[in-house]
Amino acid sequence: MRTVLVTGTGGAGRTTVAAATAVAAVAPGRRVLVLSADRDASLERALDLPPAAPGAGTPEAGAAPVPVASVPGLWAARIDAAAAFRADAGAVQQRLGSLLDLLGAAPLDPEELTELPGAEAFALLRALRDTAGGWDLVVVDLPPVHEALAALALPAQLRRYITRLVPQERQAARALRPVLAQLAGVPAPGAWAYEAAARADRELAAAQAVIEDAATTVRLVVAPGTHAADAVRRARTGLALYGHRLEAVVANRLLPAESPDPWLAELAGHRRKELRALRAELAGTPTELHELPHLGREPHGAGDLDRLAARPPADVREGPATPPWTTEDRLAAEGHFLWRLPLPGATRDTVDLVRRGDELVVDAEGYRRILPLPSALRRCTVAGAALRDGALQVRFAPDPGLWPR
């Protein structure tokens, strides 16, 4: 299964590009799904579909996929964060029923439940998890870059927290907990807590597998204008830090080069200047630049989306993606290992690095990621770091106290 994640700058037309990409990818015998995390009915308007009825479909994912009659082989669905939150809260209350009774607490009715901040990200992750299998291509309309990257990073972050708070060795000692509780004189966590942690880890792992699959790529949508190239540069850094593969930048709503209206002609000139800056930003990279025209109105229906010619991504291999960082053994020649993480577009002023135990904390262009060190580097000390040729390079020297002689 191929997955294309569509994000970009605010107001650049991400939903339209996602819909156009899905339409262009349809072929005989191919099943394509387009998902939108947008709260309004912009996906339905773009595909000329009736708005989804509130509560329709599965409560976990929101509206169930519906076929697009004008494009055989294409289905569309919109993620319903409110429905997903109510389903999650109800399931938690059900699992904690005996504990709530013991405490004398009255469970909340479904009508009382209103979503909390962050519910959108969890609903998106569940929808991504549930797309595995059954589709040849899934196109996902995501929020703007910063919000999208934060949501996509959640599975790995939360699984790290679960491992720290409920480590495997503690779960393995489950049979000893009643005895230890009596000896210590304090109650031990119930089995439900460990089962809930294991269940959450499995669900997060399923979403993480889709996000980190080698066949999952990103399309970045921008409307050429002031600072568009700089926005693409920062986004490239964030995407690279998290290991996402940027397959295309889509310059949307381009005006015709010539216009009888002097104001439009001047605006088109500024847009062409920004377009040249975008080409320069992507020069020498495998990322394509797609240029989509402005239709003079909001696209409506498959006919308008066809005119945008949002070419589907090229086929890529499936399976787990390799980590974005590499380690080079230079012990014999230079006495150290070289750990290298590509950070295209990053500047020295915005990159920071901290070694914390067996992990590296990397900050770049306002993004942060905690990266596990390979086993060999855990027995080394940081001997120096530099940002060179678009990559963060860290030298690790063997620690004499830990390195075998």
- The span from the first CA to the last CA of the chain, in angstroms, equals 48
- Residue 307 is predicted with a pLDDT of 86
pLDDT of residue 58: 42
pTM value is 0.86
Mean pLDDT, consecutive 10-residue stretches, the chain (405 aa), reads: 92 93 90 88 88 48 78 90 70 58 61 71 85 86 94 91 71 50 50 72 89 93 86 95 94 78 72 87 91 87 86 69 90 94 93 94 95 92 94 94 77
For position 344, which CATH number holds?
Answer: 2.60.40.790
Same domain, 126 and 255: yes
The answer to whether position 335 is within a domain reads: yes
| CATH code of the domain containing 51 | 3.40.50.300
Q: Write the Ramachandran bin of 87: left for phi over 0, alpha for psi from -120 to 50, otherwise beta.
A: alpha
Domain-ending residue, one of 282, 308, 334: 308
Please state, in angstroms and rounded to a whole number, the distance separating the CA atoms of residues 109 and 104: 16
* Exposed/middle/buried for residue 257 (C-beta within 10 Å: 0-12, 13-18, 19+): exposed
159 and 259 in one domain?
Answer: yes
**Same-domain status, 300 and 352:** no
175 CB-side CA count, 13 A: 1
pLDDT at residue 57, as a whole number: 43
pLDDT score for 107: 66
* Whether residue 297 sits in one domain with residue 330: no
d(CA 355, CA 373): 10
CA distance 291 to 300: 19
Angle between helices 81-95 and 119-130 (to 10 degrees): 90
Distance of CA 402 to the CA centre of its chain: 37
Q: How far apart are CA 166 and CA 168, in angstroms?
A: 7
The answer to whether residues 7 and 84 belong to one domain is yes
Q: What is the pLDDT of residue 56?
A: 45
- The pLDDT tens digits of the residues spanning 34-60 come to 999 887 788 999 998 876 644 444 434
Residue 301 counted as domain residue: yes
Whether 404 is in a domain gets the answer no
Of 256, 280, 308, the residue at which a domain comes to its end is: 308
Q: Is residue 6 part of a domain?
A: yes
350-356: long-range pairs with CB below 8 Å, 24+: 350/237, 351/387, 351/392, 353/382, 353/385, 353/392, 353/394, 355/382
Question: Is there a single domain that holds both residue 248 and residue 333?
Answer: no
- Determine, yes or no, domain membership for 315: no
Is position 320 within any domain?
A: no
Q: Which residues pair with 327 in a beta bridge?
A: 339
Give residue 341's domain range: 326-398
Do 303 and 347 lie in one domain? The reply is: no
**Does residue 330 share a domain with residue 304?**
no
**Do 299 and 355 have their domain in common?**
no
Based on the fold, state whether residues 284 and 332 are members of the same structural domain. no
| Same domain, yes or no: 73 and 215 | yes
What is the structure's pLDDT at 302?
87
- Assigned domain for 116 exists: yes
The crossing angle, in degrees rounded to 10, of helices 191-212 and 119-130 is: 70
What pLDDT is stored for residue 178 in this prediction? 55
Query: 360 forms bridges with which residues in the sheet?
Result: 355, 371
CA 160 to CA 95: how far, in whole Å?
A: 24
**Structural domain tally of the chain?**
2
Domain end among 280, 308, 336: 308
Same domain, 351 and 263: no
Asked whether residue 405 is assigned to any structural domain, the reply reads no
